[in-house]
A = this chain, B = another copy of it.
Amino acid sequence: MFAGGRGACYDSTKLMRAEIVSIGSELLLGQIVDTNAAFIARHLAAIGLDLFHKVAVGDNVTRVAAALTTALGRADVVITTGGLGPTADDVTREAVAEATGRPLVLVPELLQEIEAFFRTRGFTLSPSNQKQAYIPEGAIPVSNPVGTAPCFIVEQGDRVLISLPGVPREMEFLLSGRVIPYVRERFRLRGIIVSRILRSCGLGESRVGEILGDYMTGSANPTVGTMAHLGQVDVRIAAKAGDEAAARALIAPVEAEIRRRLGDLVFGADAETLEDVVATGLRAREWTLTLLESGTGGSVAERLTGAPGAGDRVQALVMAAEAAQRCLGVTQGSVAEFAAAVRVWGKSDLGSATIIDAPEGEVHATRIGVATPSGAAAHAYRLGGDLRQVRVRASVMTLDRLRRTLATGSA
- Residues facing B in A222-267 (CB within 8 A) are 225-228, 236, 238
- Residues facing B in A363-411 (CB within 8 A) are 363, 382, 384-385, 387-389, 391
- Residues facing B in A65-93 (CB within 8 A) are 67, 85-89
Contact B41–A204 (Cβ < 8 Å)? no
Which of B32, B209, B306 is within 8 Å of A38, CB to CB? B32
* Separation of A305 and B318 alpha carbons in the complex (Å): 10
Shortest beta-carbon distance, A15 to chain B, in Å?
Answer: 13
- In the complex, the chain B residue whose C-beta lies closest to that of A383 is B121
Contact A88–B217 (Cβ < 8 Å)? yes
Closest 3 CB pairs of A and B: A297-B305, A30-B41, A30-B42
Contact A54–B55 (Cβ < 8 Å)? yes
Stretch at the interface among A21-29, A104-112, A178-186: A21-29
Contact with B along A16-46 (1 / 0, CB 8 A): 0000001001111111111101111111110
In the complex this chain forms, how many copies of it are found? Answer: 2
Contacts of A323 in B (CB 8 A): 315
* Separation of A315 and B126 alpha carbons in the complex (Å): 41
Contacts of A195 in B (CB 8 A): 29, 31
Contact A53–B53 (Cβ < 8 Å)? no
Contacts A120-B362, A226-B87: A29 and B52 contacting too (C-beta < 8 A)?
no
Contacts A87-B216, A210-B126: A26 and B227 contacting too (C-beta < 8 A)?
yes
* Separation of A32 and B234 alpha carbons in the complex (Å): 12
Contact with B along A299-310 (1 / 0, CB 8 A): 101101110000
Partner-B contacts on A (CB < 8 A)? 22, 25-35, 37-45, 51-59, 63, 67, 85-89, 120-123, 126, 128-129, 146, 167, 169, 193, 195, 197, 204-207, 209-210, 213, 216-217, 225-228, 236, 238, 291, 293, 295, 297-299, 301-302, 304-306, 311-312, 314-320, 323, 361-363, 382, 384-385, 387-389, 391
Shortest beta-carbon distance, A227 to chain B, in Å?
Answer: 6
Contacts of A205 in B (CB 8 A): 85-87
* Separation of A263 and B209 alpha carbons in the complex (Å): 55
Contacts A128-B209, A318-B315, A363-B120: A39 and B30 contacting too (C-beta < 8 A)?
yes
Which of B56, B63, B88, B361 is within 8 Å of A216, CB to CB? B88
* Separation of A363 and B121 alpha carbons in the complex (Å): 8
- In the complex, the chain B residue whose C-beta lies closest to that of A55 is B55
If A29-B193, A53-B63 are given as contacts, then 11 extra A-B residue pairs at C-beta distance below 8 Å, sorted by A number, are: A29-B195, A30-B42, A33-B34, A33-B35, A34-B37, A53-B56, A55-B55, A87-B216, A87-B225, A167-B228, A297-B311
